[in-house]
Every structure is written in C-alpha cells, then in structure tokens.
C-alpha cells in the first residue's frame, strides 16, 4: 500500500527558530509537491520538485527532494507568525498529475 | 473570475436532502478532481475527470454522483448523505500533460455539514 508520511504532524515553534518537516513516501516517484493550507481555506501550491536533488526556496521556506531515499524536506528558517498554517506534501504517482497522494499534513504554529 | 471557484462555500443539509456542489475552473485545464478533507484524515481523492471522461472513482459511495458537462465545469450531486459525510469538499484542476510536473490547482472548498 502506498504511504505518504509526514512528521511531525504538529509543530509549535518560537519565532526566529529553524525547523524541518519531513515527508517520506513508499513508491517510486520523482514528482513531489508542497502545499500550504490556512484554516478554513484551500490549498496553495508552494513548491514543485521534479527531480532527484531538486531544491527550491521561497522566502523563509526551502524544499528539497531525494528520490533515492524517497524523502522530501521543508526547511523553515527564522520562523515568523505568518508561517503558521498546515503544510502538506503530495506525491504524483501517475506522471500526468492525475493521481496525487497526500500526506496527513503538518500543523505549524509559530509563537512570538 | 480567475483560478478555480466553488459554490456554495458552506452548505448544511439534512440526510434526506438532495443538493449539488459546483466547481468551475478558468485556467484552460483538461482534468478536474473532487477531494474530501475530513478532520484527522489525509486528503482523499474521490473522482477524476480527464477531458470530461471519468477516469477514477476511488470506491466512493453511490450517494455521491459526479458530473462533468465540459472541461471547465464539475458538479458533485449529493443525496441521502450520512453525518460522517460532513467535511470540506475540494475541487481541483490540472493541465493535461503526459510528462506531469505541473501539479493541481485547488478551489476554496465547500464546507458541508450533514445534520
């Protein structure tokens, strides 16, 4: 059975601190996506990672993909309150966007 | 309107009611999806349409009936739902591609409560 596992599921951190969210998956894929969801809102695309070793950065967030280890990370640098949200990783197992499997999400709370 | 829109945004219905959720995408995509998001569960893919043809039905109960009249519109018809069907229903779309890599674009969702 395909599994997409995120950890931690809940993360509370202080402003200014660094932390990493992990996404492990159990099938062969070189397409991985990170989404952000604010409470009561939809999913917003953050990063698209399309090959082994891909690294993308946007502001205080940086995502990477290791397809051999079947692992993606989302690193948070010097967290700020505005980053509080739930973050999902998703693995595309269909090669045409049609079958994306999502992790359970990591609920991040950044405290002053 | 841009992106993916969904109506209504909130819906409360009784178990004997019939209602429909609507999704419209303004991105020129050819694939559309329905997802269910419940508390404490990962996002669940329900239905997939490619070029108006249903290509995926992930063992969804028949009380949920999708309809895709064209590549821009997707409906989810609901009847005789159960309280456990209460959830956020998300619509998404994606461009057709044989190489993948562009991901899916999500609508704002419909918060459904079944009483």
What pLDDT, on a 0 to 100 scale, did the predictor assign at position A96?
66
CB atoms within 10 A of CB A47: 23
The answer to whether the Cβ–Cβ distance between A94 and B102 falls below 8 Å is no
- Give the Cα-Cα-Cα angle B94, A29, A50 (nearest 5 degrees): 60
Please name the member of B42, B45, B48 whose beta carbon is closest to the beta carbon of A104.
Answer: B42
For A30-69, write each residue's pLDDT tens digit: 789 999 999 888 899 999 998 888 999 999 999 999 999 9
Distances (CA, A) of A97 to A10, A91, B44, B114, B115: 28, 9, 15, 31, 35
* Closest chain B residue by Cα to residue A46: B103
Q: Residues A69-91: what's their mean pLDDT?
A: 96
For B45-72, write each residue's pLDDT tens digit: 999 998 777 777 778 999 999 999 998 9
Task: Pull the structure tokens for residue A99.
Answer: 């079958």
Residues of A in contact with B94 (CB under 8 A): 97-98
Confidence of residue B10 (pLDDT cuts 50, 70, 90): very high
For residues A27 and B67, the model is more confident at B67
* Residue ranges with strand state E in chain A: 4-7, 10-14, 19-25, 32-37, 43-49, 55-58, 61-66, 71-76, 85-92, 100-102, 106-111
The answer to whether the Cβ–Cβ distance between B105 and A45 falls below 8 Å is yes
* Closest chain A residue by Cα to residue B43: A102
Confidence of residue A23 (pLDDT cuts 50, 70, 90): very high
Query: In chain B, positions 59-88, which contact chain A (CB-CB < 8 Å)?
Result: none
DSSP assignment of B102-114, as one string? S--EE---EEEEE
Disruptive mutation site among B39, B89, B104 for chain A (greatest number of A CBs within 10 Å):
B104
What pLDDT, on a 0 to 100 scale, did the predictor assign at position B98?
57
CB atoms within 10 A of CB A40: 10
For residues A96 and B59, the model is more confident at B59
Task: Pull the structure tokens for residue A82.
Answer: 């505005």
pLDDT at B27 over 80: yes
């Amino acid at each position: 059975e395909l599994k997409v596992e995120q950890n931690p599921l809940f993360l509370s951190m202080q402003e200014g601190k660094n932390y990493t969210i992990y996404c492990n998956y159990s099938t062969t894929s070189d397409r991985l996506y990170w989404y952000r969801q604010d409470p009561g809102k939809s999913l917003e695309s953050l990063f698209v990672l399309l090959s082994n070793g891909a690294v993308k950065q946007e502001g205080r967030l940086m995502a990477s993909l290791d397809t051999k280890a079947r692992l993606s990370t989302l690193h948070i640098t010097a967290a700020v309150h505005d980053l509080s949200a739930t973050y999902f990783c998703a693995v595309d197992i269909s090669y045409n966007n049609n079958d994306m499997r999502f992790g359970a999400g990591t609920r991040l709370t950044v405290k002053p | 309107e841009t992106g993916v829109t969904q109506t209504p945004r909130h819906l409360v219905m009784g178990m004997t009611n019939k209602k429909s959720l609507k999704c419209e995408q303004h991105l020129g995509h050819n694939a559309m999806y329905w997802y269910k998001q419940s508390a404490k569960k990962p996002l669940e893919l329900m239905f997939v349409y490619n070029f108006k043809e249903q290509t995926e039905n992930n063992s969804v109960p028949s009380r949920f009936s999708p309809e895709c009249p064209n590549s821009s519109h997707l409906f989810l018809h609901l009847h005789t739902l159960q309280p456990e069907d209460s959830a956020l229903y998300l619509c998404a779309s994606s461009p057709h591609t044989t190489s993948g890599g562009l991901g899916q674009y999500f609508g704002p969702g419909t918060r459904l409560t079944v009483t």
